[in-house]
Chains A and B, each alone.
Chain A
Amino acid sequence: MSEQSNLPATHGAHDNHGGEVDYATRDERGRYILPLEEHTPRITDIDPRAAKRAERQVAWLFTLGGACLAGGVAAYVAFDSRELISVPTIGRVSASNFWLGTLIGLGSFFIGAAAIHWARRLMPGEEAVDHRHPLRGDEQSRASAIEQFKRGAAESGFLSRPLVRRTMLGAMALFPLPLVVLLGDLGPSPKEKLRHTMWGDKRMTRIVNQGSGELVRPEDMAVGGLINAIPEGLERIQEETGTQNERAKSSIILVRMNPSEIKAQQGEGWDYEGILAYSKICTHVGCPISLYQQRTHALLCPCHQSTFDLSDAGRVVFGPAARHMPQLRLGVDAEGYLVALGDFAEPVGPSFWERG
């Protein structure tokens, strides 16, 4: 192949004298079809030295890839999983993760790059053309398919024996039923579980400061203060059943504000000297909220930004939540501990169909 013949064709699409366009060639919509550009030879096609150079580059990339992979194996042996090293601009990182990943990653990258380079430089650079065959079957096939199907359908009697057809359809319609029914024991029936929390188990429930594990006394709380709390005995339940279900319902926050700042509550006198107890579980979708801004008494949910005003009966002031945060009635027992007097008046947490 001479060099001349490999040069690109003169593009004369808009040039009547170019003579490169066969104006007879049109597609089925009548648009002209430009002929395929002639293959421009690559440097590696013409210059054997360039081809040799590309060959060496590919070989080097494969070698480098192999070497990096071997290095990765060495790094696996060399570094303990907990060893840390400092890498500029990245920080203190795990030596094992850094070296293993870098070496295996580079190794894999170089192998891939070698293959691509090989394909681009040394494998055929000339475009090939394939034909698209119509997807629609030819008339004969279609006719034959229809005919054979009709024959089979008639032979089966599906159409001529309605009794068989109907009973079969009826039986098959029932087929998925056992599959669904068998899922019944995935979980217990909800019953009234979502309506009760541990706070309702006793007439008076002492309140545990979740951080310190101590029972809360009113005088522990500063004005502007916040305590994340749970009912007394919850930790014991945890020990017995190992579940977190009760935490997801019974967690509360205690806040204290100046009694004069309380605008409204869900029940008359449910606070104790300015201490208010609200559910910690958002009424929207149940995220635990204790982002309490003591200056504005706003309680903000970090998930969807619902905001509640704890000085105003836990009212929704912003966001997608539809209902106020349920409040607990507080009091003090004979020994001076802060207690909850009964359960929440409504289910805590996200809504559900039967909630009412």
Chain B
Amino acid sequence: MANISGSRRRRPYASALLLLTALTTTGAAYAVTTSAIANPRTSEVTAAQIQEGKRLFTEGCSSCHGLAGQGGSSGPSLIGVGAAAVDFQVGTGRMPMAQAQVQAMRKDPVYTQAEIDALAAYVSSLGAGPGVPDPSQYDFSNANVARGGEIYRLNCSQCHNYAGKGGALSDGKYAPTLMKATPKQIYEAMITGPQGMPVFSDAQIPAKDKQDIIAYIDYLQNAPDPGGAALGRFGPVTETVFLFTAAIGAVIAVTIWIGAKSR
């Protein structure tokens, strides 16, 4: 890791060291994994924001994640997870978790965007990690949706299903549906690897490719169904349910009509 070219990545060597130290000291195997390559944007973070974030954190997050974000028995360490992870987890309502679950579910966010920004500022002050992406990074207006589809089928569809409907994983975990994910959240999820999802840093999937993927997911979210009702886009399973209820039901109704005694 030491041979990372720091200047190109705009990432100080020290923070990698800090990250490693933090990980070893806390021994948090379950740490929400950070991208070693991510490029935290140095957006205008004020001291007041960090202060406000610390207050919110102490109130709402510290019972699981520890008073200094070092993690605890019920929550991973947040040192070095970066602002993007906070913006994603809190912005999609996954955090704070209402109760202990196998996996945090998407809900309506509890905090306002300003509060989320403050939390993110505080958490990224604990240790550098991927920053919240800039709108220009996830702007997909010039993206290639067909190429996005190819990369999606290569990297995403194995968990999130061909139509972004999500799918089951092992031990009660699941890949969530992408139908409500915003471009920013998709980008954040890729660079931070929330929950069980692998990290797809900008070095693994360049920003341009991420925009293509976002364009494809945007297509999936709005795609028409030329053939008629989509039955949830889950493949042959829901087609079977329809077949043996409505379709064969209708045919049997007709057979009963034909066979019934006429009066």
Contact = CB atoms under 8 A, between A and B. Distances in A.
B170 A292 contact: no
A294 B30 CA distance: 10
B33 A222 contact: yes
A304 B115 CA distance: 44
Contacts of B34: 222-224
Interface stretch (A12-20, A150-158, A206-214): A206-214
Contact of B154 (A214, A228, A255, A258): A228
Given A121-B262, A295-B30, A228 B198 contact: no
A64 interface: no
Main secondary structure of the interface of B (DSSP, over half): loop
Interface stretch (A27-35, A87-95, A134-142, A170-178): A87-95
Contacts of A261: 29
By size class, the interface of chain B is: 35 or more
Given A94-B227, A295-B30, A223 B205 contact: no
A289 B254 CA distance: 46
A227 B263 CA distance: 71
By size class, the interface of chain A is: 35 or more
A121 B263 CA distance: 8
A225 B158 contact: no
A42 interface: yes
A295 B196 contact: yes
Contact of B155 (A40, A228, A336): A228
A219 B3 contact: yes
Contact of A97 (B35, B167, B228): B228
B135 interface: no
Contacts of A258: 23
Nearest to B208: A212
A90 B230 CA distance: 8
B171 to A, nearest CB: 8
Contacts of B199: 222-226, 294
A283 interface: no
B209 A212 contact: yes
Nearest to B23: A258
A116 B257 CA distance: 9
A300 interface: yes
Contact of A94 (B193, B226, B254): B226
Contacts of A97: 226-228
B48 interface: no
A43 B151 CA distance: 68
Nearest to B8: A219
Contacts of A43: 263
Contact of A212 (B173, B205, B261): B205
B169 interface: yes
B155 A93 contact: no
A291 interface: yes
B35 A222 contact: yes
Given A219-B3, A288-B158, A226 B198 contact: yes
B37 interface: yes
Contacts of A298: 170
A202 interface: no
A293 interface: yes
Contacts of B193: 222, 224-225, 294
Contacts of B204: 209, 211-212, 220-222, 225-227
Contacts of B257: 116
Interface string B165-195: 0010111010100000000000000000101
B37 A222 contact: yes
Given A212-B205, A258-B23, A290-B158, A226 B226 contact: no
B64 interface: no
Interface string A155-171: 00000000000000000
A296 interface: yes
Nearest to B250: A109
A98 interface: yes
A90 to B, nearest CB: 5
24 contacts: A44-B262, A84-B226, A91-B224, A93-B227, A101-B228, A116-B254, A211-B155, A211-B205, A211-B209, A212-B206, A219-B1, A219-B4, A219-B203, A220-B37, A220-B203, A222-B36, A222-B38, A222-B193, A226-B200, A261-B29, A291-B159, A291-B175, A293-B170, A300-B170
Given A91-B228, A226-B199, A228-B154, 9 more contacts: A90-B228, A94-B227, A209-B204, A211-B205, A291-B175, A292-B198, A298-B170, A307-B170, A318-B170
Considering the complex of A and B, which 4 residue pairs feature the smallest CB-CB distances, nearest first?
A: A224-B33, A226-B198, A293-B196, A92-B224
Interface of B: 1, 3-5, 23, 29-30, 33-38, 151, 154-155, 158-159, 167, 169-171, 173, 175, 193, 195-201, 203-206, 209, 224-230, 254, 257-258, 261-263
Interface of A: 40, 42-44, 84, 89-94, 97-98, 101, 116, 120-121, 125, 209-212, 214, 219-228, 255, 258, 261, 273, 288-296, 298, 300, 302, 305, 307, 318, 336
